[in-house]
Amino acid sequence: MSTAHRQEGTPVVVAKDLRRVYAISKGLFHKPDLLQAVGGVSFSVQAGKTLAIVGESGCGKSTLARMVTLIEQPTSGTLQLGGMDVVSASAHDKHALRQKVQLVFQNPYGSLNPRKRIGQILEAPLEINTRLNPADRAEKARAMLALVGLRPEHYDRYPHMFSGGQRQRIAIARALMLKPSLVVADEPVSALDVSIQAQVLNLLADLQRDLGLAYLFISHDLGVVRHIAHDVLVMYLGHTVEHGEKNAIFNRPLHPYTQALLGSTPGLAGSGSPHQRTVLKGELPSPLHPPQGCVFSTRCPHATEQCRRERPALQELLGRAVACFEALRLAESTTTR
């Protein structure tokens, strides 16, 4: 599996102002409510790099993953895979683009067909998308099993005969059968024991190094993110609140929401800025009725009238982009001393 064509540093996926809005029906004679699941998210992921998307449940992470994997069409914005615009692509081009991006699901117990042998599961993408003969498909499937650390005899076994960690290795192998340039991993280790999580994360890191893969890694576990990510994008209620290089964000989080997430993670609390001990209070607002100003204003201990009235734009600050009036005020007061 040569990776000579895939140079590290090349953008594999570029998203600009991606939005996804759902119409929620209220009955025959009423206008539907509009739910904005993703409200204008921009990012890029380079070959050989991992961008982690983090935030609470309901923040829009999985909706973003479905748009990147072409399962759902963005309501607006642009999305490029390998330099080709996905939104305006023809049906034929989208079929080819879907082979460039593959998805690894959260639940290793529900993502594999229990009636199929592992060899059949791995060969299915090749059978659908290539003209390889059965012997060649079997050869590639066996080689992929070895690549993810499984033995040749596993080829003829059924999913129920494997542990959760082994099943997730099989799911990763299936995702790599078509040699994608981007893998979207949606909470890929959250259903596994902690001891097994490390093994799967190390496997993902090894595969990235050997194959030049780009990862979009969806997670709520910042301990896992710190282990695998190069860059981090923090989402809240469908919006980006902080986005930058991993060490910059972990060592000095600027947005109160990022501070709260880090402060609530065992092993990460107390490091870096003292502001990251922010405690989250209250419930996530309904995306049907988001706050008028900053989306975090209803739970933020630093919220002012400006925060409740105006929505802060993402601005470059101390090596990352952050959408927070308080962070900007603190930075300005520090530089004027």
Neighbours of 331 (CB within 10 A): 16
Is residue 83 pLDDT above 80, yes or no? yes
Q: Residue 126 domain-assigned?
A: no
Q: Look up the CATH number of the domain holding residue 77.
A: 3.40.50.300
Say if residue 224 is in the same domain as residue 259. no
C-alpha distances out from residue 149 to 73, 166, 172, 277, Å: 35, 9, 11, 40
Say if residue 47 is in the same domain as residue 174. yes
pLDDT of residue 3: 45
Q: Residue 7 domain-assigned?
A: yes
pLDDT of residue 332: 72
Q: Residue 15 domain-assigned?
A: yes
Say if residue 210 is in the same domain as residue 273. no
Show the domain range for 267: 251-337
The model carries a pTM of 0.91
Is residue 81 pLDDT above 70, yes or no? yes
Q: Would you say the C-alpha torsion 136, 137, 138, 142 has a positive or negative sign? A: positive
Say if residue 57 is in the same domain as residue 171. yes
Neighbours of 92 (CB within 10 A): 8
Write down the mean pLDDT value for the chain: 90
User: Mind listing the pLDDT tens digit for each residue in 127-154?
Assistant: 999 999 999 999 999 999 999 999 999 9
Q: Residue 127 domain-assigned?
A: no
Say if residue 191 is in the same domain as residue 287. no
The H or E element that residue 50 is part of is strand 50-54
Q: Residue 40 domain-assigned?
A: yes
3-state secondary structure 130-152: CCCCHHHHHHHHHHHHHHCCCCH
End-to-end CA distance of the chain: 56
Q: Residue 246 domain-assigned?
A: no
Give how many domains the chain has, as a whole number: 2
Say if residue 180 is in the same domain as residue 272. no
Say if residue 172 is in the same domain as residue 294. no
Say if residue 177 is in the same domain as residue 308. no
Say if residue 194 is in the same domain as residue 285. no
User: Mind listing the pLDDT tens digit for each residue in 221-243?
Assistant: 899 999 999 999 999 999 999 99
Q: Residue 125 domain-assigned?
A: no
Q: Which of 197, 229, 261 is the last residue of a domain?
A: 229
Say if residue 183 is in the same domain as residue 256. no
Distance between CA atoms of residues 87 and 310, nearest Å: 31
Reported confidence tier of residue 334, pLDDT bands at 50, 70, 90: low
Distance between CA atoms of residues 204 and 232, nearest Å: 17
Distance between CA atoms of residues 111 and 29, nearest Å: 40
User: Mind listing the pLDDT tens digit for each residue in 177-235?
Assistant: 999 999 999 999 988 888 899 999 999 999 999 999 999 999 988 999 999 999 999 99
Say if residue 51 is in the same domain as residue 194. yes
Say if residue 176 is in the same domain as residue 298. no
Q: Residue 146 domain-assigned?
A: no
